[in-house]
Amino acid sequence: MTHTDVRLDTAADLPVERDALIGSSGRPGRRQRGERLMVPRAEFRSYYGRPVLKPPTWEAADIGGYLFLGGLAGASSTLAATAELTGRPQLARGLKAGAAVALAGSLYSLVHDLGRPERFLNMLRVVKVTSPMSIGSWLLAGYGPLAVLAAGSAVTGRLPRLGRLGTLGAAVLGPAVASYTGALFADTAVPAWHQAYRELPVLFVGSAAASAGALGLLAAPGPEAAPARRAVLLGAATELAAARRMERRLGMVAEPMRQGLAGGLLRAGRLLSAGGALAVAVGGGPGGRARQRSGGGQAVTVAGAAAMLAGSICLRLGIFEAGVVSARDPKYTVEPQRQRLEARTGRRGRRP
């Protein structure tokens, strides 16, 4: 076997791009000026085609529920405080109760995926400001009692002052609870999540606001629903804009978001969110108010709110599935690194 054969056999198995080329002189190295290239550049994907990263081992149902319900709880607490401060007691009460139930479901999904409850408690042994997981654990630990206090006071009518304190405290922490999971995903090495570090928190906040508004419309579909309706429309617009920008900016890394199960879920999420927002707008418009007396406008609003909640679930599951797919295929790890290297150096990377 010649020296050239050895170079070709081994280069295909290297996990980094080979910039050393075989020229007309038969010697490996960088091509000299005027030298004719005899062997084309070796392309690769990974070592024997194996994934560069270990795909996430989380359960889709558990993590999807954790993401959706946590965002719903945080945004609902913030919207509940707005409703209470503007004199909408039915809307505030429904959102507080919904936030407490959603929080319980989110924590159950998280603990179920962790396997043992003490694993969550162990995350509270330290505070690491550079870790979204650590900060998120402390956020949940601080937000949970406040949300439960607010809901308990609203449902039973007891301890109104403590209930007001819990309402305001949960409202302050609510946006962070709704958005930190986006930062948590972006802090991983999973390509589809890491590359979307700019858009994921905004995307999750928009989706959480829309789903909280939808919950408010279901809890208080009458005249108190104006803030919930505005939350649905603003949240849906933010979600759809952030999703579009994310897919355009990510380029080839966004391929898993358009293909397979992840692509189907994300398309369904967009259609449900857009259709739900349209139904909510129609149900609350001038014609919708006229139909409220006959029940037609309320039925349209309820259908739109249900579609919005379903769209938010599809979004979380689609983002999760896209990340898993991108971690399994090594090209989504290697190609962005190659492009960043070329952008910094102005030339293709060389094998160390």
Structural contact between residues 65 and 105, judged by C-beta atoms closer than 8 angstroms: yes
Torsion-angle region of residue 48: left (phi > 0), alpha (psi -120 to 50) or beta?
Answer: left
pLDDT attached to residue 30: 52
In angstroms, the CA 86 to CA 76 distance is 15
The predicted-structure confidence for 307-332, as pLDDT tens digits, reads as follows: 999 999 999 999 999 999 999 888 88
Domain 60-327 top-level CATH class: mainly alpha
Other beta carbons less than 10 A from residue 286's beta carbon: 7
Cα dihedral 339, 340, 343, 347 sign? negative
In angstroms, the CA 273 to CA 79 distance is 19
Domain boundaries, the chain: 60-327
pLDDT attached to residue 38: 55
> What's the CA dihedral at 56, 58, 62, 66 to 10 degrees?
-50
What is the arithmetic mean of pLDDT over 326-342?
A: 83
The predicted-structure confidence for 249-274, as pLDDT tens digits, reads as follows: 999 999 999 999 999 999 999 999 99
Residue 21 above 70 pLDDT?
Answer: no
In angstroms, the CA 339 to CA 346 distance is 10
In angstroms, the CA 137 to CA 127 distance is 9
The predicted-structure confidence for 80-100, as pLDDT tens digits, reads as follows: 999 999 999 999 999 999 999
What is the arithmetic mean of pLDDT over 104-121?
A: 86
The predicted-structure confidence for 283-298, as pLDDT tens digits, reads as follows: 876 555 554 554 557 8
What is the arithmetic mean of pLDDT over 5-10?
A: 37
pLDDT attached to residue 351: 45
pLDDT attached to residue 19: 42
The predicted-structure confidence for 124-153, as pLDDT tens digits, reads as follows: 888 888 888 888 889 999 999 999 999 999
Confidence of residue 116 (pLDDT cuts 50, 70, 90): confident
Q: How far from 193 is each of 130, 257, 305, CA to CA, in Å?
A: 17, 11, 28
How does the average pLDDT of the chain come out, rounded?
83
The predicted-structure confidence for 28-69, as pLDDT tens digits, reads as follows: 445 555 555 555 554 545 556 666 777 788 888 899 999 999
What backbone phi and psi angles, to 5 degrees, belong to 284? -105, 0
> What's the CA dihedral at 172, 177, 182, 185 to 10 degrees?
140
| pTM reported for the whole predicted model | 0.79
Residue 158 above 50 pLDDT?
Answer: yes
pLDDT attached to residue 39: 53
